[in-house]
Homo-oligomer: A and B are copies of this chain.
Amino acid sequence: MLFIVKENHDISSLLEKIRMASASYKVVDIYGKRIVIAWPDNLVENIEDISIDAKIRVRKPYYLVSNEWKSGKTIVNVGGVEIGGSRIVVAAGPCAVEDEDILMEIAKAVKRAGASILRGGAYKPRTSPYSFQGLGEKGLKILKRVSEAVGLPVVTEVMDTRDVELVKSYADMIQIGARNSQNFTLLREVGRAKIPVLLKRGFGMTVEEWLLAAEYILSEGNGDVVLCERGIRTFEKSTRFTIDIGGMVIAKMQTHLPIAADPSHPAGNRDLVEPLALAAIVAGADMLIVEVHANPSKALSDSEQQLTVEMFEKLMKRLKAVAEAIGRSI
């Protein structure tokens, strides 16, 4: 049960009533409101209090993430770029930050082609301990310099609770990768950090679990979450992962948060990126995050699926045409 609190009202008597009912609760300040989440519903449904502006029973296991209580779509502002409005936002850049000059070249090129956020990994979650693990803080510094020089806000991944503050000091948006999507202590930490979060869906994760992972972030008072579909693991091996367009649509129907899609990781092959990106857009994605490299064959990771700059330019043209056909822009 959500109790929306009247502005500037004291909640001590409300909390006392919840405790008397032997119910659990959490107080969250989010979207300019104070909300008392109390559960289970049956213990608190008859509670009345002067401080209550509205009492809303959410039927889903995720409360704050659900659109049952919040009307209208949430807009997430990343360094001035609005995600969730009628304009579709494209983030682009290399899989990993490798070199400042190369990143500068890529950043300029993707901006010119229409991207409005720069992506790039400084901390890379790699299956093998012997693969390139990213440049760490050095990579963050490069990202920051390129970001400022080119004028694109930056999204980058964090993998360790101990690194959240550091990454926040360099980035405009923090990415939680697929392998950490149920790393609950990390989710809480980025919730507390109050920075926009791009939350990838784990490749073995249901849509409901994905929304509950977002609930971990919102329940710490951080409402700036974008949910990113990036493919699930299935028996089919002709693609690297199976992009779950249907699951993405279901997520969009359940939440007020913006939805993103990553067409690069499920593709595993650059020729598939364009059709998957177009499919995600017409199915309702508010944002795309695409891997682009100046020279993909020399990339230290994901060399197979990063687009060349030329391919990205062509993709942006087709995205624009399709976005207009569904009444949106890029």
Which A residues contact B (CB, under 8 angstroms)?
A: 24, 26, 37, 39, 61-63, 125-130, 159-162, 179-180, 182-186, 188, 202-209, 212, 215-216, 219, 231-239, 242-247, 249-250, 253, 266-267, 271-272, 275-276, 278-284, 318, 321-322, 324-326
User: How many Å lie between the Cα of A105 and that of B268 in the bound state?
Assistant: 46
- Which residues of chain B have C-beta atoms less than 8 A from A242's C-beta? 232, 234, 242, 244, 246-247
The smallest beta-carbon distance between A43 and chain B, in angstroms, is 13
Residues of B within 8 A of A324 (CB): 325
Q: Smallest Cβ distance from A271 to chain B, in angstroms?
A: 7
Min Cβ gap A293→B in Å is 21
Cα of A62 to Cα of B186 in the assembled complex, Å: 27
In the assembled complex, the Cα of A272 lies from the Cα of B326 at a distance in Å of: 16
Known interface pairs A37-B130, A212-B129, A250-B239; A204-B202 also in contact (CB < 8 Å): yes
Rank and list the top 5 A-B pairs by shortest CB-CB distance, nearest first: A204-B204, A279-B279, A325-B325, A179-B182, A239-B246
Q: Are B247 and A275 in contact (CB under 8 A)?
A: no
Whole-angstrom CA separation of A293 from B258 in the bound complex:
33
Which of B272, B281, B326 is the one whose CB lies under 8 Å from A250? B272
- A152 to chain B minimum Cβ distance, whole angstroms, is 27
Can you report 29 residue pairs joining A to B where beta carbons are below 8 Å apart?
Answer: A127-B212, A159-B183, A159-B185, A161-B161, A179-B183, A183-B186, A204-B205, A204-B233, A232-B234, A232-B236, A233-B233, A234-B234, A236-B246, A238-B246, A238-B247, A239-B250, A243-B245, A245-B276, A246-B266, A246-B267, A249-B276, A275-B283, A275-B284, A278-B283, A279-B280, A282-B322, A321-B325, A321-B326, A322-B322
Closest to A132 in B: B24
Report the minimal beta-carbon distance from A206 to chain B, rounded to whole angstroms: 6
- Shortest distance in angstroms between A264's beta carbon and chain B's nearest beta carbon? 12
Contact A247 B239 (CB under 8 A): yes
Bound Cα distance from A324 to B126, whole angstroms? 41
Is there contact, CB below 8 Å, between A238 and B179? no
Nearest-neighbour CB distance to chain B for A131, whole angstroms, equals 9
Which residues of chain B are within 8 angstroms of A250 by Cβ–Cβ distance? 238-239, 272
Q: In the complex, what residues of B have CB within 8 A of residue A127's CB? A: 61, 182, 209, 212
Q: Which residues of B contact A179 (CB under 8 A)?
A: 182-184
Write out the residue numbers on chain B whose beta carbons fall within 8 Å of the beta carbon of A26: 129-130
Residue in B closest to A219 when the chains form the complex, CB atoms: B129
**Residues of B contacting A159 in the complex (Cβ-Cβ under 8 angstroms):** 183-185
Q: Which residues of B contact A282 (CB under 8 A)?
A: 275, 278-279, 281-282, 322
Other-chain residue from B129, B185, B245, B271 in contact with A279 (beta carbon distance below 8 A): B245
**Across-interface contacts of A129 in B (CB, < 8 A):** 26, 184, 188, 212, 215-216, 219
Q: How far is the CB of A66 from chain B (nearest CB, A)?
A: 13
- Complex contact B238–A235 (CB within 8 A): no
Complex Cα–Cα for A253 and B274 (A) = 13
